[in-house]
Amino acid sequence: MIIRELSEQECIEILAAARVGHLACARDDQPYVVPITIAFAQRSIYSFSLSGQKIDWMRHNPKVSLQVGHPEGDGWKSVVIQGIYKELPDRIGSKLERERAWSLLSSHANWWEPGSLKPVTASIPSDHIFYCLSIESMTGRQAVPE
């Protein structure tokens, strides 16, 4: 395999086409990685969730990473972003960006999965939390057969 770096434009194209990414957050020196539904626009990643561990951890430490990748023939492409978590509450000051997030996410089938599903043992209803990850940096790699 030959590994090459992707340009910023190639990274943006991958993020724009992606629907699922792997979010990494950390608290008390413990990492946590989960799949999330995503939408990309204007150097931000938009998503949503119910209250739970990842939201609690991102509120405590808003520095996050997100990996998006896919196989391509006998190789693969992958983009990793470093970003800052920001909640988009349903109130003045965040309403437009929250509506943008909802609009981008809802343009795809099953957009609400996995963010709105919890294990069957969870019985406490919760409000949906829309949020964005402001991209501070991004890198991308591609592996191609020799």
Number of domains in the chain: 1
Stronger pLDDT, 65 or 121, i.e. the higher one: 65
Average pLDDT of the chain to the nearest whole number: 85
For the record, the structure tokens of 52 come out as 């739970």
> DSSP letters along 14-31, please?
HHHH-SEEEEEEEETTEE
Alpha helices in 29-125 (DSSP H): 53-60, 95-106
pLDDT digits (tens, 9 = 90+) for 53-86: 999 999 999 999 999 998 888 999 999 999 999 9
**Residue 127 pLDDT more than 70?**
yes
pTM exceeds 0.85: no
pLDDT, residue 110, reads 54
Which residue range(s) make up the domain with 59?
2-144
**CA torsion 6→46→35→125, rounded to 10°?**
180
Stronger pLDDT, 14 or 126, i.e. the higher one: 14
pLDDT, residue 4, reads 96
**Residue 95 pLDDT more than 70?**
no
Give the rounded percent of residues in the chain with a pLDDT score beyond 70: 77
For the record, the structure tokens of 109 come out as 């089938």
| Average of per-residue pLDDT across 17-46 | 94
Read off the CATH number of the domain in which 75 is found.
2.30.110.10
